[in-house]
Structure 1
Amino acid sequence: MHRVALVLHETTMLYEAAIAAEIFGVDRSELSPAGDWYDLVVCTPDGRPNRWLPDARTARFDELVRADSVVVPSTDDPDAPPDPGLLEALARAHRRGVRIASLCTGAFVLAAAGLLDGRSATTHWMHADDLARQHPLVDVRADVLYTDDGQVLTSAGKTAALDLCLHLVRRDFGTAAANNLARRMVVPAHRAGGQAQFIAPPAAPDNPDRLGAMLEWARSRLDQPLTVPDLAREAGLSSRHLARRMRAELRLSPLAWLHQQRIARAQELLERSDASVEQIATRCGLGTATTLRRHFHKHVGVSPTAYRTAFHSLVPTSGTPHPARPAGA
């Protein structure tokens, strides 16, 4: 049987650990073409049973090297230095060829063990900048649900952890087994790892000067044709000076910022209104429904219709406060 070692440490979060236990710790051998399934062992620092999974077979971190796959769930404190014993055990398991996957902020543990250097990796979008800053050798991708580099895999936050676990089942037992398991769990059978995380649109920068006033002026006119000279004129700057200021303060060119705002407006309208895609395209300045669909899919990772299906019911249309979007959902 394929032995999976589930790492539980002092700062492990319950949600992702429970996902892994549900996928790999419940006998689903009837779904496997060969009639086998996973053999789950929970690895803790001292090998003692964990309060969340008291009946699971346990072992010490040293046993990670004997697994076929290791799953590292999220940590509630990504800034805390991981257990040195865990890092060494992960490094030894990796050298032996063990497949290692992290869920959500578990990527910080893999990065601390040096397993993500030179690789693409993801984590919850709220922590992606911290991961990139703490581990500059990691190619952090905040715009995907999960990454698969063969031996090392990482997932974004929360439900994206389930996507990665189902992806592992698909690799190990085939598409039919993964689809049947997803059906039992009443979740989508497959979301490709390259699909974008549902990330909240960027907040307006706090610029009390004329540049801030220009940004507000432009946001109130997204349904109109706007050019860089229009923005520069409103800011009282030359086009070249405006571009330098925006790159310095927003890390975006004027056109990139304008396009970002149009997509954010489209997201808001898809969530808060019943307007058609054609009407939304006009109201956010993207012209036609075809243009909106093309750019929306490129930047968000799903179609406008799929986005509305996911979020329209979550946000009331009466003007009540806007709740935070779920990430990686």
Structure 2
Amino acid sequence: MSKNTGMVEGKVVVVTGAGGGIGRDIALAMARDGAKVVVNDIGASVSGEGADAGPAQSVVNEIKALGGEGVANTDSVSEAASAGRIIECALDTFGRVDVVVNNAGILRDRFFHKMGVDEWDAVIKVHLYGAYHVSRAAAPHFKAQASGNYIHMTSTSGLIGNLGQANYSAAKLGVTALSKSIALDMERFNVRSNCIAPFAWSRMIGAIPTDTPEEQARVDRIKQMTPAKIAPLVVCLASDEASEANGQVFAVRNNEIFLMSQPRPVRSVHRSEGWSPASVASHALPALKAMFYPLDRSADVFSWDPI
């Protein structure tokens, strides 16, 4: 097999939601760089419906055609028992697990005031519960071998904001906090955990309207951001070369890589006698107002064309 750098040579990597899109390209890139890959995908639609074993096996076939090693797994990330079977698949097939890439996701977009409980639950279970369940299943093995690596997919929908995605945004911001907690709790065992917010054209954003020339032009620009552009950072973070990266949040947008900020105090006010509701209104809020954040959406912050 023609490899890139061999940066993950011999590592066993689990990639969830790897039957297509970003996950597929990550799985293929891992294999090219020498990893043995568990390709997990239930084969469902973007909304999480209609399981099909085909996509995962198709990616495994691509890996084997490259001369690499891979195995398909179709268990769901959304329940503890089935997530555990994903990790067991790695152990049964390859004897160990070194890297977990939590990529599986679905969308059920709806404005908040119209969102149903089922739409909320479905997205939270796949993204947030899924990242927890798969990570938790791998944790004892990472601890025992004193090494391991988690890479989670977050989103600027959670880090910044987007319309009609309360379920997805809440889950994705939750994933960043989960990642930081894992990094803190498992650092002593030489285990790392980082997040990536990927910008890429995939089924997940394929419903963007193209009714006007401006909208079509925007979609054409977004289509430059192929899923394959995400994979190099993922492979690097999975390698020992990235040993100093832990608890970080990155973003990838076409040929750009960003380090994203994490919440920290930006301004404070103090009154020695303490606060009353009236003094908060007359003093604290006016003093802090200059640093208030606008109601930005992701596209407002990343407002320039991809390079």
TM-score scaled by structure 2?
A: 0.41
Q: Could you say which structure has the greater relative contact order, defined with CA pairs below 8 angstroms and 6 or more residues apart?
A: 2
